[in-house]
Amino acid sequence: MNKKFEGKIAAVTGAGSGIGRAIALRFAAEGADVVVMEISGEAGEETLRLIGEAGGKGTVLSVDVADTESVRVAFARLPRLDVLVNNAGVAHVGNVLAAQPEDIERLYRVNILGAYHCLHFGVALMERFGTGSIVNLASIASKVGIADRFAYSMTKGAVLAMTLSVARDFVSKGIRCNCVCPARVHTPFVDGFLAKNYPGKEAEMFAKLAAGQPIGRMGRPEEVAALIAFLASDEAAFITGSAYDIDGGFTLLR
């Protein structure tokens, strides 16, 4: 694979599983020194092991993105930062009546405050060197109304807004900021959701969810990672302040 991130440091939050792990592996395959930022040490170390097995390099930093001091300490350990991927996030299913105050608080702290923390400290580090690329994980839910995703959509809408703001404020500083907006992607969260809510009917419901995209299947974490790697690379040097759908044609239905 083209080593277009050779000599660069790429930090990925929530890199211990799912899309985050795929992103970390993709950057490592393309030559980056990957910083696996993960609240679960065990999950982070497993990602690092996979990076090493594939011939890549990286480190693990224990980071709780919802905690200001945890993020400050983590970014203070980096000598520089070329790429930041804000991937860490949590989900919630339910409408405004089902969403409880504690649900809103949990999603706010991880999805919104967590992204803010990493942008706050990450942009400051990038600004010192006059260059950097940021890719945030928003969602198709930040653009269209999806049933029973009130709290999640709220937080991903904020991620989209933060993306545009950072892109505008730092375009003259050599820092680019974009986001990707996936539809349904097959991750361990999906499997867990089906096992919990549809025991014995997992295969049937999986097929139904997969059919929700016109392309006829869910996305793969590796596909999201490939788009993010492009946006973070010099090949996308003329792109900033953009939100890229990766949704199997989902928005065609709206």
152 is catalytic: yes
Mean pLDDT of all residues in 124-142: 97
| pLDDT on residue 237 | 98
Report the phi/psi class of residue 219: left, alpha or beta, with left for phi > 0 and alpha for psi in -120 to 50. Answer: beta
Catalytic-role residue among 108, 116, 152, 244: 152
Q: What is the DSSP letter of 113?
A: I
User: CB under 8 Å to 30, separation ≥6 — which residues?
Assistant: 1, 2, 3, 4, 5, 6, 229, 233
- Does residue 88 contact residue 65 with C-beta atoms inside 8 Å? yes
In tens, the pLDDT along 21-63 reads 999 999 999 999 999 999 999 999 999 999 999 999 999 999 9
Strands 175-182 and 132-137, bridge-based pairing: parallel
In tens, the pLDDT along 169-211 reads 999 999 999 999 999 999 988 898 899 889 999 999 999 989 9
pTM, full prediction: 0.95
Mean pLDDT of all residues in 137-152: 95
Cα dihedral 88→92→93→95 (10° resolution): -120
The mean pLDDT value of the chain amounts to 96
Predicted confidence (pLDDT) at residue 234 exceeds the cutoff of 90? yes
Which residues are 180's β-sheet partners? Answer: 137, 244
Going from the N-terminus, what domains does the chain have, and what CATH number goes with each?
9-183+220-245 (3.40.50.720), 186-218 (no CATH)
Helix, strand, coil tally for the chain in percent (to 5): 50, 15, 35
C-alpha distance from residue 138 to each of 70, 91, 153, 231 (Å): 23, 12, 9, 14
149 pLDDT band, cuts 50/70/90, is very high
